[in-house]
Amino acid sequence: MSTKISRRTLLATGVAAITLPRFALASNPEDIMRKSREMRRGLTNSMADVTMTITARGRSTERKMRQYVLETSNSGNRVINVFSSPADVRGVSVLTHSALDGNDQQWLLLPSVGRVKRISSSNRSGAFVGSDFAYEDLSSFELEKFKFSAAANASVGGKTLIQVDYAPTYSGTGYAALRSYLDPSHYQPVQNHYFNRRGEHVKTLQLSRYKSYGGGAIWRPHLLVMTDHAKGSTTQISFSTFTATGTAESNFSANRFQRVS
């Protein structure tokens, strides 16, 4: 009898594991997003080649860059983007020190005149190099930048996902609210919805081609597709495989990032 109960219990537990999303174990939205962040961190110092394809009014243009990312334990990520295409901006490079409060520091290298310029990062809602991504969409995800309001089950495309609602708390944002749908198997977002101040759903980001690193402890998407519903345009960002050997940690500084190409 006890064996049967035990088997039923095990069977029930197994079914629940398949049918119930794991977030039921941690339904606090901030805890869920903390876990999501933890499960995409760990490469510490990585590099990837990035191709951005912007499609609007039937015309596509492509930008290419090499991206170096340094994860830090007590502050936001440090990122170097070095553009290689279009050809007239080849070598232009941007260093970003993400801040937990959203007030990122940024430096721009203009190789044509040999100038490194500290620039303002206040235009967070502005379009990144003419794409459908705003600067804030590409800034590193830090819990301190958001206020989390709710988490729930949601059925999307026949799959049960974890829906988390939250809102930016930093100044200069173009959004009143965001909604992420996380895959419960690795707690990574597969869709983000962006809402403006009128509550309109203005943009959708789809994240796919997830690959795991570090023996399954680290998950990264390799394809991002942002759709601007008002403009009818889309921007696709594809990443090469992330390599764990980026550039020297010391190069993620204002006086040395021009060494990186």
Partner 1 sequence: MASVRIIRPAAALSLALALPAGADTFSLDGFVGIEARNFLTFDGEPRQIYSLTGEIRSGGALTDSLSYDLRLYGRTNLDGLDGSYIDPTIAKLTWQRGNWQIDAGYDLVFWGVAEGRNVVNVINQRDQIRDQFFDQGLGQRMIAVRYFAPSVTVEAFVLPGFEELDFGATGRTWGLGLPVDDSRSTFEASDGADHTDFALRLSGGVGNLEYGIFAFDGTLRQPEFQVDTATNTLIPNYVQGEQIGAEAQYTTGPLLYKFEGVKVWPDSDSTYWSAILGVEYIIGDIIGIPSETSLFAEYYHDSRRDDPSVAFENDIFLGTQFRLSNTFDTEIELGVIIDTDDGDFIGSFNVSSRISDNLRASFEYIYADASDQSDGLFNSRDIDQLFVSLEWYF
What's at 197, amino acid-wise?
R
Instruction: Decide if residue 259 touches partner 1 (CB under 8 A).
Output: yes
Instruction: Decide if residue 115 touches partner 1 (CB under 8 A).
Output: yes
What stretches of 76-200 adopt beta strand conformation (E)?
78-85, 93-97, 105-110, 115-119, 146-156, 159-168, 177-183, 188-195
Instruction: Decide if residue 44 touches partner 1 (CB under 8 A).
Output: no
Residue 220 in contact with residue 211, Cβ under 8 Å? yes
**How far is residue 131's CA from residue 98's CA, in Å, rounded to a whole number?**
20
Q: Which stretch binds partner 1 (CB under 8 A): 26-34, 64-72, 120-128, 202-210?
A: 120-128
Total interface residues for partner 1 by CB under 8 A = 37
**How far is residue 255's CA from residue 261's CA, in Å, rounded to a whole number?**
14
3-state secondary structure of 119: strand
| Binding positions for partner 1, 190-249, rule CB under 8 A | none
Instruction: Decide if residue 126 touches partner 1 (CB under 8 A).
Output: yes
Residues in the chain: 261
Instruction: Decide if residue 70 touches partner 1 (CB under 8 A).
Output: no
Instruction: Decide if residue 7 touches partner 1 (CB under 8 A).
Output: no
Helices (H) and strands (E) counted in the chain, each on its own, are 3, 15
Instruction: Decide if residue 64 touches partner 1 (CB under 8 A).
Output: no
CA-wise closest residue to 46 among 77, 85, 13, 12: 77
Instruction: Decide if residue 18 touches partner 1 (CB under 8 A).
Output: no
- Least distance CB 193 / partner 1 (angstroms): 20
- Least distance CB 18 / partner 1 (angstroms): 45
Residues 157-196 as x/- pattern, contact with partner 1 by CB under 8 A: --------------xx------------------------
- Least distance CB 47 / partner 1 (angstroms): 14
Instruction: Decide if residue 35 touches partner 1 (CB under 8 A).
Output: no
- Return the exposure string of 119-157: e unless at least 16 CB atoms fall within 10 Å of the residue's CB, then b: eebeebeebbbebbbbbbbbbbbbeebbebeebeebeee
Which residue among 22, 34, 37, 90 contacts partner 1 (CB under 8 A)?
90
Interface with partner 1 (CB under 8 A): 54, 56, 61-62, 86-91, 103, 105, 112-120, 122-123, 125-127, 129-130, 171-172, 250, 253-256, 259, 261
